[in-house]
């Protein structure tokens, strides 16, 4: 992806590109180069796939500016020769090296992306560190290297530094990150990233990869006919431990039909920018199976509603810079400015009506809290700073801001269509906050999916729904 960008610079350095002898050509090249660079700055956003073809504009822009300046005077060259740009140019390599560690350490400490004020401070810190590197590292190294008599000292020092860094990196690799550096409580919190259904790969990921969703895994009571279907995306799969326990309590066996990024909604499509993703075959196959099988008395609809109705979480760290996720009918995404909330809710209600018309009851699982960060990692940082695990919460106002419209719509659907509500958030949230940790166990294994431990804890909430099924105990 990057080799061709370096290749353009190499062609300029080798003199392969013809010289621009005429002043008018140099002026045009410089202006066009600046326009291409500014165009990328102003018009590229999180939805722009990068690197790739989009990198062509700023790369060619930089090449044209360099080409114009190489071959003679021009307006852009004079502007870039003033004191400010020259000073930045001298710092550029050190600034390139320093800016990212500064940003990363800020994010780690603040657990948030920098805003306008903090961003300005980080820029100032990066410039200061870059100047110190230029003053005390780059220039001394160059002075020694430029002397006629070769000096071994800088090369010996560089080799020693490389060896030390390699040894440190090797130790981290051999000792698997050296987990012993952290307290036991913190390591235990991190381990919950892997607290998922033991059958997750076999019953979800592998079935999706092999398109084997019409041979679903079953949960709950081990014997007897399958009487219920759990249908949805990866959030449905994360609920499998809850339904397994609830099914054992009620004597009900149920089948899991799940596909990542595909809510159980007929005629619905999810469009991932820069990624192949087609929900059509999964939705068509599984809906037909569920609707036509007379053995199914109950369909449990579970999916991550907010991401389809509103897009990625706009706060926190994990999804803010994701490429856009769009929705729409099978023939293409909604147009820019389309009402995705309305389209999602219309699709949901249409699907509910179709399932009810097929003679099935529907249980509707309400949205979960979305903290916008990986909860086990959040808990680790919280504990390392001396905080109590129970204090890690999501403000209720933030949860309501993300889900209030959906909850109201779900309440209406439950009332109008006589559905069975499964309001998991009511067990996790009070009037002021939503708990992210219960008895030292993270509620989520990442930023949105329940840990298996928490899912099992919430199993009683599914008992009323499964009790509807004929033959439940």
- Interval 392-417 mean pLDDT: 97
**Residue 42 Cα to chain centre, angstroms:** 24
- Model confidence pTM above 0.85: no
Q: What is the pLDDT of residues 127-175, one digit of tens each?
A: 999 999 988 888 887 776 555 545 666 677 778 888 999 998 898 888 8
Q: Which two tokens stand for residue 117?
A: 């004020």
Is 90 exceeded by the pLDDT of residue 18? Answer: no
The residue-averaged pLDDT of 332-354 equals: 96
CA distance readout (Å), 228 to 3, 246, 359, 428, 443: 53, 12, 13, 25, 26
- Check: CB of residue 330 under 8 Å from CB of residue 263: no
pLDDT digits (tens, 9 = 90+) for 420-452: 999 999 999 999 999 999 999 999 999 999 999
Q: Encode pLDDT of 271-297 as tens digits.
A: 987 788 999 999 999 999 999 999 999
d(CA 224, CA 65): 74
Q: Cα-flanking dihedrals φ and ψ of residue 269, to 5°?
A: -135, 145
Specify whether the CB–CB gap between 171 and 178 falls below 8 A: yes
pLDDT, position 146: 57
Contact 308, 327 (CB under 8 A): yes
Average pLDDT for 211-227: 93
Q: How confident is the model over 63-87, as pLDDT tens digits?
A: 999 999 888 889 998 998 899 889 9
More confident residue, 160 or 207: 207
Of 293, 279, 161, 176, the closest CA to residue 227 belongs to 293
**Average confidence (pLDDT) over 238-256:** 96
Please give the pLDDT value at position 323. Answer: 83
Give the integer Cα–Cα distance in Å for 408 and 103: 39
pLDDT greater than 90 at residue 2: no
CA proximity to 373, closest of 356, 392, 354, 400: 392
Residue 122 is predicted with a pLDDT of 95
> Sorting pLDDT into bands at 50, 70 and 90, what band is 48?
confident
Using the predicted structure, report yes or no on whether residue 25 has a pLDDT greater than 70: yes
Lowest mean pLDDT among 41-45, 184-188, 248-252, 375-379: 41-45
Q: Which helix (H) or strand (E) holds 412?
A: helix 396-417
Per 3-state DSSP, what percentage of the chain is helix, strand, and coil (rounded to 5)? 55, 10, 35
Dihedral pair phi/psi, residue 19, rounded to 5°: -75, 150
Q: How far is CA 60 from the centre of its chain?
A: 30
pLDDT at 47: 67
Instruction: Tell which residue, 290, 267, 296, 272, has the closest CA to residue 213.
Output: 290
pLDDT score at 383? 93
Residue 126's pLDDT is what? 95
Mean pLDDT of 223-243: 95
Write down the mean pLDDT value for the chain: 91
pLDDT at 150: 57
Show the tokens assigned to 430. Answer: 């009070």
Q: How confident is the model at residue 112 (pLDDT cuts 50, 70, 90)?
A: confident
How confident is the model at residue 320, as a pLDDT?
Answer: 81
Q: How far is CA 322 from CA 162, 192, 223, 288, 318, in A?
A: 35, 24, 44, 33, 8
Q: What is the pLDDT of residue 254?
A: 96
Residue-wise DSSP of 125-179: HHHHHHHHHIIIIIHHHHHHHHSSS--SHHHHHHHHHHHHHHHHHHHHHHTTT-G
So what's the pLDDT on residue 335?
94
Least-confidence region, from 100-104, 136-140, 382-386: 136-140
pLDDT at position 200 over 60: yes
d(CA 371, CA 383): 17
Look up residue 429 and give its DSSP letter.
B
Reported as a pLDDT band with limits 50, 70 and 90, residue 46 is low
Give the model's pLDDT for residue 218. 97
Residue 45 exposure: Cα atoms within 13 Å on the Cβ side:
5
Positive or negative CA dihedral for 270, 271, 273, 274?
Answer: positive
């Amino acid at each position: 992806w990057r080799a061709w960008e370096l290749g353009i610079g190499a062609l300029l350095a080798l003199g392969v590109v013809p010289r621009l002898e005429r002043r008018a050509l140099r002026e045009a090249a410089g202006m066009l180069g600046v326009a291409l660079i500014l165009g990328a700055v102003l018009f590229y956003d999180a939805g722009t796939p990068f690197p790739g073809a989009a990198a062509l504009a700023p790369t060619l822009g930089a090449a044209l500016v360099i080409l114009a300046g190489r071959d003679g005077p021009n307006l852009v060259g004079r502007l870039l020769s003033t004191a400010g740009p020259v000073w930045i140019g001298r710092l550029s390599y050190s600034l390139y090296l320093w800016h990212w560690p500064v940003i990363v350490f800020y994010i780690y400490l603040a657990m948030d992306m920098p805003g306008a004020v903090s961003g300005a401070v980080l820029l100032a810190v990066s410039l200061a560190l870059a100047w110190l590197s230029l003053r005390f590292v780059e220039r001394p190294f160059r002075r020694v290297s430029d002397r006629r008599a070769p000096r071994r000292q800088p090369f010996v020092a560089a080799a020693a530094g490389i060896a030390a860094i390699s040894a440190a990196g090797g130790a981290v690799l051999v000792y698997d990150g050296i987990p012993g550096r952290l307290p036991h409580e913190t390591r235990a919190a991190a381990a919950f990233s892997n607290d998922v259904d033991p059958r997750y790969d076999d019953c979800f990921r592998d079935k999706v990869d092999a398109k084997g969703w019409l041979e679903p895994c079953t949960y709950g009571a081990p014997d007897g006919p399958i009487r219920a279907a759990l249908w949805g995306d990866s959030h449905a799969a994360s609920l499998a431990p809850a339904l397994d326990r609830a099914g054992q309590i009620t004597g009900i066996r149920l089948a899991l039909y799940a596909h990542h990024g595909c809510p159980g909604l007929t005629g619905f499509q999810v469009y991932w920018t820069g990624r192949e993703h087609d929900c059509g075959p999964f939705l068509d196959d599984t809906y037909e199976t569920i609707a036509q099988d007379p053995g199914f008395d109950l369909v449990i609809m579970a999916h991550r509603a907010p991401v389809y109705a509103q897009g990625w979480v706009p706060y926190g760290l994990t999804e803010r810079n994701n490429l856009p996720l769009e929705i729409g009918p099978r023939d293409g995404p909604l147009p820019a400015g389309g009402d995705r909330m309305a389209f999602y809710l219309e699709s949901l209600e249409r699907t509910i009506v179709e399932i009810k018309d097929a003679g099935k009851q529907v249980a509707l699982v309400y949205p979960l809290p979305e903290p916008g960060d990986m909860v086990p990692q959040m808990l680790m940082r919280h504990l390392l700073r001396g905080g109590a695990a129970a204090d890690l919460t999501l403000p209720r106002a933030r949860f309501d801001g993300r889900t209030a419209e959906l909850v109201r719509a779900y309440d209406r659907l439950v009332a109008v269509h006589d559905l069975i509500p499964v309001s998991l958030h009511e067990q996790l949230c009070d009037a002021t906050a939503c708990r992210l940790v219960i008895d030292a166990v993270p509620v989520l294994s990442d930023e949105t999916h329940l840990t298996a431990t928490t899912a099992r804890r919430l199993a009683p909430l599914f008992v009323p729904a499964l009790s509807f099924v004929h033959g439940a105990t």
